[in-house]
Amino acid sequence: MRNLMNPPIQILVLVALFHSAFGPSLTFAQKPNVLFIVCDDLNTHVSTSGYPHIQTPAFDKLAAAGMTFRRAYCQYPVCGPSRASFLHGLYPQSTGILDNTADIRVVRPGTVSMPQRFKASGYWTGAVGKVFHNAKIDPGEVAWDQVLRFENDELPMVTPVREKFEAEHGSISKGKTRRMWREFYPTIATQTQGQKPGYGPTGLSDRQHKDGKNVRQIKEWLLSNSSGDKPFFMACGIHKPHGPFLAPDKYFAMYPKAELQFTPASLEFWKTVPRIAQTKRYEGFGFEFGVENDDLRREFMQAYHACITFIDAQIGIMLDALRQSGHWDDTIVVLTSDHGYLLGEKFMWGKVMLFETCDRVPLIIRVPKSIKDLATTPGSSSEGLVELVDLYPTLAELCGVMPPPELQGRSIARMLRDPSSDGKEVAYTVVTRGQELGKAIRTQQFRYTLWPTGEELYDLVADPQERTNLASSQKYTEILRTLRSKLDNLEQFAISQKR
């Protein structure tokens, strides 16, 4: 890890080399466009990540035209911190964003986001949906020429209930009645339970869902040439499969509950793993720790998978729109997620954990032939380790955009050029527990996690499901010593840009 020490000097040298090598080589007219698609809470239950029990043809279509990164990792398995990290090219300990409420403009003033840098470099920038974590921390016109967020239409099952409620209490849009309605709404059906989470078919069409509206707005921008003579950077924040797990009815019908496949969890696992590694999110789903509720697990898995295939269909609309608009051959496409998600494995549900299923994300990048030296080989894949923090410097390099000097990610353009290229030595992910941090690194073979109260070590080649914690085994003493050192070195780099 010595090559990561003293990063500011090295980064400045790299920036200088980048400017001389790439800056003058791309004229304004030659700069490629970017379509940046980030899904919310999407784990690796997609066909391109090796999950066979799902239908994701749009993922397959993009993978067939680009490169699939099979070992891509988020830097913090929660929406806000993860997005702050990859949108600013910095590890969470340097962004200072370790929860869903902090605003980087307050915590780290002057930090330049990826869309802001692209806009300042002459790109037309547009965003729909959840790109930054929420509207309050979205930088607005500093980063975007246009930014829009949509909501689902009212569910048909809700309409008569609302009308009856309003007949008795008055309009739900104001005052006491509005508060009463907000308290009553979650009791209508499982679909109205919000982030408890709610789940179920909606009775709405694709285009009546916020994600259907998101992609159709991207399509409209493409077909109407909203960017004019400028290259564009369009970002589409896909909300699903984030809870509530709602999708049109037809997607639920594709996944009969009785046919879903999973391995029941075991309490034996937790006999060797620090309890600090878990969360109590399972309670919000209605589960009891240590009790396998098969029927309820199938309810949520069906809904989660229905949401995935629903968003896959929406992603397909954007890919088709690129072709219809004539931009397929001059647009870089990135498709990823902010973090993974557990669906009952280890009796755990949701995020905020440092297991492989929570930290690994799908990542597909397609670079068109117009970027001759860096175009992706159709249908290629890489087993090299990459991090979401690498996306900012990668897109900057591909588009001839000068990146800020403090970026901690590393461009993976060379991997796009040559799928056999090595990735990073380690990938780094952190998560908070109170005032402390849990920290994990992923190597090609192992995942090592350090908690304030213990350690975890998994051989992911022999044990990809992380069922056996090897941290107390004498056989792995030297490996643990090596991984502790690597973690310490990488953490020093991760905090090197902290203000």
Residues 403 and 297 in one domain: yes
Residues 211 and 279 in one domain: yes
Token pair listed for 111: 């930090």
Query: Which among 429, 238, 202, 243 is positioned nearest to 349, based on CA atoms?
Result: 243
Residues 31 and 100 in one domain: yes
Residues 190 and 254 in one domain: no
- Please list, in sequence order, all residues whose beta carbon lies within 8 angstroms of the beta carbon of residue 167, skipping any fewer than 6 positions away: none
* Mean pLDDT value across residues 87-100: 98
Token pair listed for 27: 């004229």
Q: Is residue 432 part of a domain?
A: no
In DSSP terms, 69 is beta-bridged to 382
Any idea what the CATH number is for the domain that residue 99 is in?
3.40.720.10
* Mean pLDDT value across residues 330-351: 98
* Mean pLDDT value across residues 102-108: 97
Residues 69 and 12 in one domain: yes
Pairing of strands 380-387, 67-73: parallel
Q: Where among 426, 453, 488 does a domain terminate? A: 426
* Mean pLDDT value across residues 71-78: 98
Structural contact between residues 388 and 353, judged by C-beta atoms closer than 8 angstroms: no
Structure confidence at residue 29 (pLDDT): 62
Residues 195 and 261 in one domain: no
Q: How many domains does the chain fold into?
A: 2
Residue 198 identity (one-letter amino acid): G
Percent of the chain, pLDDT > 70? 94
Structure confidence at residue 18 (pLDDT): 43
Q: How are the residues of the chain apportioned to helix, strand and coil, as percentages rounded to the nearest 5?
A: 40, 20, 40
Token pair listed for 456: 């975890």
Domain enclosing residue 74, as ranges: 2-152+203-426
Taking CA atoms, 480 is separated from 205, 428, 451, 464, 473, in Å, by 52, 16, 14, 18, 10
Taking CA atoms, 473 is separated from 29, 153, 449, in Å, by 59, 55, 15
pLDDT tens by residue, 288-334: 999 999 999 999 999 999 999 999 999 999 999 999 999 999 999 99
Residue spans of alpha helices (H) in 255-293: 282-285
φ/ψ of residue 49, rounded to 5: -100, 10
pLDDT tens by residue, 394-447: 999 999 999 999 999 999 999 999 989 999 999 999 999 999 999 999 999 999
CA distance 185 to 25: 57
* Mean pLDDT value across residues 454-474: 98
Whole-prediction pTM value?
Answer: 0.94
Q: Is residue 468 part of a domain?
A: no
pLDDT tens by residue, 367-403: 998 888 888 999 999 999 999 999 999 999 999 999 9
DSSP 418-447: -TTS--BS-EEEEEEETTEEEEEEE-SSEE
Q: Cβ–Cβ contacts within 10 Å for residue 170, how many?
A: 15
Taking CA atoms, 86 is separated from 75, 127, 268, 409, in Å, by 8, 16, 36, 8
Structural contact between residues 189 and 200, judged by C-beta atoms closer than 8 angstroms: yes
Pairing of strands 33-40, 331-337: parallel
3-state secondary structure of 239: strand
Residues 254 and 120 in one domain: yes
Residues 330 and 398 in one domain: yes
Residues 31 and 116 in one domain: yes
Q: Is residue 116 part of a domain?
A: yes
Percent of the chain, pLDDT > 90? 92
Residues 226 and 164 in one domain: no
Residues 64 and 83 in one domain: yes
φ/ψ of residue 487, rounded to 5: -65, -45
CA distance 112 to 131: 15
* Mean pLDDT value across residues 351-375: 94
Q: Is residue 438 part of a domain?
A: no
Q: Where among 374, 399, 426 does a domain terminate? A: 426
Q: Is residue 141 part of a domain?
A: yes
Mean of the per-residue pLDDT values of the chain: 94
pLDDT bin (cut points 50, 70, 90) of residue 12 is very low
Q: Is residue 84 part of a domain?
A: yes
Among the residue ranges 204-218, 223-237, 263-277, 360-374, the one predicted with the least confidence is 360-374
* Mean pLDDT value across residues 82-101: 98
Q: Is residue 316 part of a domain?
A: yes
Structural contact between residues 367 and 330, judged by C-beta atoms closer than 8 angstroms: no
Q: Where among 426, 445, 469 does a domain terminate? A: 426
Assess whether pLDDT exceeds 90 at residue 14: no
Q: Is residue 475 part of a domain?
A: no
Token pair listed for 390: 């690498």
Token pair listed for 437: 């941090």
Residues 281 and 318 in one domain: yes
Structure confidence at residue 370 (pLDDT): 86
